[in-house]
Each structure stands twice: as structure tokens, then as C-alpha cells.
Structure 1
Amino acid sequence: MNPIQPVADRQAGAGALFAFLAFLIWGLSPIYWKALHGVGAFEIILHRILWSFAFLMPLVCIGRHWAEFKKTIKSPKMLSILLVTAILVGANWLIYIWAVNNGRVLQASLGYYINPLVNIVLGMVFLRERLRRAQAVAVVLATLGVINLTFRYGVFPWVSLALAFSFGIYGLVRKVAAVGALVGLTVETLLLTVPAGIWVFHLHHIQSGAFLYTGIKTDLLLLGTGVLTATPLLLFNLGARRITLATLGFIQYTAPTGMLLLGITLFGEPFTGIQAVTFGLIWTALAIYSWDTVRIHRKQASKREEVTHGLLPGAGIRKS
């Protein structure tokens, strides 16, 4: 028995738990944003930016990421890239919170279900990645789901598509930035902190903002937006380092599933037969996409194993 295997198993188990908790928090976050329903979505985003930076900056120092942080802010190219991603993630946050507080949690859920399939399309368009047959089928099914909702329900699902594409493009651009998730998000919030701070000060000056004017509960909830932003991110990073991308891909559906269940049960949003057809097509697409991802992952892992043991031509001398 390989003595390293039990340690690897424990690492994988811990990683899966961390990732699950991260996506569970994201999936249940509508409860938190609903508690701030009396505050405008734009003002919530302003506070989320400010308090996220205030919470993240000490974590950069404690986690010994200071050198990476300084290197990043001294690079004009990196700052330019992160300014773009900051605007994208800010827009994603704004649309999501607006959707939650305007009774569109199901559309938000659909958006995050669609996101992995949007990533495939973006990879094909911008990175010239070739679609495998299973991926093409998944994208077609997802497209049919959107068309069904648009023409039969009579409402274009702009919230779902805006969330999926803003986050998908965010991930695409972040691929160019060679910076860790924690430092990257800290710099992104830093770049948005000055305009957000000025706007919050303006709202406070004209006494039209919620902070310090609508009660201690609202103040604490606004302060807590930083913790809500950073905690799942840290858990995600801890998990992603310990498990495979295929496993992470499965766990990520915890978030939109949580949103879907909250929308139907706790928030009482209608779930019609037309929506059921759309979600059914999306779920089928995701099942095909996930199966294909696992298949390719296992094939690549098997190939690496063969190379490691010298079983493939050109792999060197076969180990005895």
C-alpha cells in the first residue's frame, strides 16, 4: 500500500469540504441580500467594495501575500487588466443583487447554471479552442433552453445571460493576469474603493444613504458584506488546491441549486412548466458537459500514469 495515499485522500476530502462550503455560502447568499431589501442595489455594491477591501487587505498581509500585492500594483499592465476585471466583477455583483432583491432569484440561478457552457463558447471564440462533440451538443441544448424561455414565456432572460457572460468574461480576462485569487480580488476592490468611497461620502453628506441612517441592523449587514465576499473565496481557494477540476466542476452546481431551491420555496417565485423545460434542457446540457469533462480528465490522468511508468513510446526506460 502506498503510504502517501491516505494523506492524499484526506487532502482531497478536506478540499471537497472546503469547496462545498464555499459554493453553499454563495448558494444561500440570497438570504443575506434579501435582508438588505430596503437598500438600493447600487449602494449595497458600494459598501461591498469598501468593506471587502477592508477585510481582504489584512488577509493579504497575514497570508504573506504582500510581495505579490506590491508587485501587482507596481505593474501598469497588470493594473490595466485588473481594472477591466474589477468593472466586470462589479457589474456581476450589481446585477446579481438587483436580481435577488427584485424577485428574480430563479433567473440568477439559471445564469450560474449556464456559466460553464458560456465558458466553452468564450474559449472557442477568443482562445480558438475546438469544441468536442459533447460540448457542442451541450451548448446547443442550453441555447434551446434560452430560446424556449424567450419565445414561450415572452421574457428575454437578460439577467441570466448578463450574469453568465459577465462572470465568464471576467474569468477569461483573469486568465491573462498572472496573479493569485486573493491578491487579484484585493487589487480589484482597491481600484474600485476610491470612487465607491467618494460616492458613499456623497450619499452620507446629502443624508440619502442607508448607512448610519436606517438602524444598526442595516449598518451591520452592510459591514458584513466584506466577510460574505471574502469567506467563500478563501474556502474556494483552499478547496481548489486539493481537488481535481472535474470534482470542482461538480461541486460548483451547489450554488445555483441553492438559489433555485430558495427561489421556489423561501421566496415563493413561480416555477412554471415553461421554466421547467428550460431548466431541464440546461441540466441535460450540464450532465453531458460534466460527463465529457470527467471522461477527458480520466483519459489524461491515465495517459500521465502511463508516461510516469514508461509505458508509452518515447517515455524512456520502463521502470521495473
Structure 2
Amino acid sequence: MQTAEEARERSLGGIFTFSAYVLWGFLPLYFLLLVPTGPWELVAWRIVLSLVFCALLLTVTRTWPRLAAIFRQPKVLGLTVIAGLLIYVNWQVFIYGALNDHVIETSLGYFINPIATVLLAVLVLRERLRPTQWVAIGIATVAVLVIMIGYGAFPWIALTLAASFGCYGLVKKKVGPSVDAVSGLTLETLWLTPIAVVVLVVVGVSEGLTMGAAGWGHAVLLSLAGVITAVPLLLFAAGARRVSLTTIGLLQFVAPILQFLIGWLVLQEPMPLERWIGFGLVWVALTVLTVDSLLHARRARAAA
């Protein structure tokens, strides 16, 4: 029987995790406020400003020694490089979709992500799936085919987001608890900073940078890109330590649901019949996967 303190911690963890997913769900609206900043410049500023924000956090919390300790673990350090490259692809594709009227498709990517994670467990970790999980993967595959054939376009944004974030989660799992959230984001943005600097130089020479060129309000919003990036990650890290994986699995649908509603109701992106059918199949697959996970967790607890 859990104590009052344990119950409080679980409730707090649920609030932290839910808040992280809500913030991620509203990210498309924040990025749209930054127009005329293009996706390449925006991701570059996001990297640089996230690194600055993380450096400030490490200074305030006096956790630089924790970051320094990671440099004595070459294998872990190498994994943070891979994680950085994967999150760069994810950020770049997500922001491209958000700024080019594909918010609904970005939501599809995060709806598919849990299924992509299960598939990666088979392909990379050689895990054996339960029959119900195979059914969910089959339904999701049919959904993608329906959207692709009916809509007349390959949903590359959704599939790239699902694949990159799924692989990112896999790498983070291999890193394990040896890298905390702030140190992890610091290293990932540190490795990406040279790329970001090159991008800013190229954009500055070819098109001109928008930082400071579109008014003080725009400059302030763009300057907050590092905070907007880091805060949900820190909330998620704080929540994940306090709640079960089952709770995280259920709450992860908050972000794509919000993104879908923003794309459909706020930004008025088209939702023809074939898209509704495709999304409907994805939601059926997720329902199957979620129910299977809950039942499996219950059986495991009963066996224990």
C-alpha cells in the first residue's frame, strides 16, 4: 500500500508529464508566431539558444561536474552524438511541417511513434511481440497505405518524425540513467552547434537573418526558443521518474491530439475522407496497442 508521500509524488509526476505533452502539443502555434523566420534558421537558433539555456541551468544548479563525468565514458558520449543527429532530423522536419501547412501530418507522425517504437524493438532489440502487437502494426501499415494512395502523396513528414523520434528514444534508452535530462540536451546541442553556425552563416549570406530584423516582439519570441525547447524536456524528465511507463504511454497521445486539433480546427488544414479513414485506422491500432499494454502490465503485476 502506497504512503501519502508516494501518492503525492505520483500525482506530481502525472502533472509534470501531462504539462510536458501539452507544451509539445502547442509548439506548432509558437513556431507560426515566428514567421518570417524559415525552418532552417529557426532550428539553428533553437540549437544555439538551447545550449545557452542549458549552460545557465548547469551553472545555477552547480551540476557541471555531472556533465564532465560523461566525458570519461566514451561509449555514452558517442551515443549522445547519435542522439543529437536524430533529434536534429526530428526538429528540422517538424518545424518544416509546422511552417508549411502540414501540422496534421506532424500529428500523424507522433500518433504512429508508439507503433514505430514497438517495431524497432523487434528489428533492433530482437524482442518477440505478442500477437496483438502484430495486429496493431498491421493496422497502422494499412492506415499509411490508405493515406498515401487516397491522398496522392507519400506521408514522408509523418514517417520521418516517427522513425527519428523512435530511434532517438532507443538511443536514450541505451544511454540509460547515466545522463540526466539537462546534461543530455547540453551535449546533444553542443554537437549540433557547428551545424547550426554554418546554417546561420549560409542563411545570413543568402537570405538575411530575421533575428532583430522583424521587430522587438519577434526578437523576444525567437530568443525564447531555447527555453521553449528545454522546459518540456525537463518537465518530462521530472515526471518520468515519478510515474509508471503505462502512465507515460497513455499521456503521450496528448501532444498529437492537440496538434491534430490545431491543424484541423485552428489552421483549417484539409481533412478529406481518405485522411479520416487513415487516421481512424491509426487510432484503432493505437487502441489495440494501448489495451494490450494495460492488460499485459496488469497480468505482470498479478504474477509478481
In the superposition, the TM-score normalised over structure 2's length comes to: 0.94
1:307 alignment counterpart: none
Correspondence for 2:151: 153
C-alpha contact 1:55 1:227 (8 A) present in aligned 2:
yes
1:288-299 counterparts in 2 under 5 A? Answer: 288-299=288-299
- Match of 2:113? 115
* In 1, Cα distance between equivalents of 2:268 and 2:145: 25
Q: Which residue of 2 aligns with 1:315?
A: none
1:102-181 matches, within 5 Å, as: 102-178=100-176, 179-181=179-181
Letter in 2 for 1:193: T
Deviates more, 1:194-203 or 1:7-16: 194-203
Q: Is the 8 A contact 1:39 1:210 kept in 2?
A: yes
Q: Which amino acid aligns with 1:154?
A: G
Aligned partner of residue 265 in structure 1, secondary structure: helix
Counterpart of 1:5 (choices 3, 10, 16) is: 3
Aligned residue identity for 1:27:
G
Contact 1:85 1:188 in 2 (8 A): yes
Deviations 1:260-284 (A, max 9, x none): 0000111010111111111111111
Contact 2:55 2:186 in 1 (8 A): yes
Instruction: Give the equivalent residue in structure 1 for 2:23.
Output: 25
Determine the C-alpha separation between the residues in 2 that align with 1:198 and 1:272: 40
Bigger CA drift: 292-301 or 225-234? 292-301
Question: Which digits, 9 at most, give the CA deviation of each residue in 1:290-316, with x for residues without a partner?
Answer: 111111212222233xxxxxxxxxxxx
Matched residue SS, 1:128:
coil
What is the rounded CA distance, in whole Å, between the counterparts of 1:216 and 1:44 in structure 2? 16
Correspondence 1:192 to 2:220: no
Contact 2:40 2:199 in 1 (8 A): no
Deviates more, 1:118-127 or 1:35-44: 35-44
Structure 1: segments with no counterpart, 5+ residues: 305-320
Alpha-carbon distance between aligned partners in 2 of 1:56 and 1:303, rounded to the nearest angstrom = 43
Distance change (3 Å), C-alpha of 1:147 and 1:202: closer
Where do 1:246-285 residues align within 5 Å?
246-285=246-285
| 2:60 equivalent in structure 1 | 62
Counterparts of 2:21 and 2:104 in 1: how far apart (Å)? 17
Which string of whole-angstrom CA distances, capped at 9 and with x for unpartnered residues, describes residues 28-83 of structure 1? Answer: 11110011231110100000001101111222343453222102134333332211
Cα distance in structure 1, aligned partners of 2:131 and 2:62: 44
Amino acid at match of 1:232: P
Encode CA deviations 1:138-174: one digit per residue, 9 max, x unaligned.
Answer: 0000000000011122111111000000111111122
Following TM superposition, by how much is the alpha carbon of 1:251 offset from its aligned partner in structure 2, in angstroms? 0.6
User: Identity rate of aligned residues, in percent?
Assistant: 36
Q: After TM superposition, give the deviation of residue 207 of structure 1 in Å.
A: 7.3
TM-score (norm 1): 0.90
Larger mean CA deviation between 28-37 and 197-206 belongs to 197-206
Residue 204 to residue 158, structure 1, CA distance change in 2 (3 Å): closer
Query: Is 1:222 aligned with 2:230?
Result: no
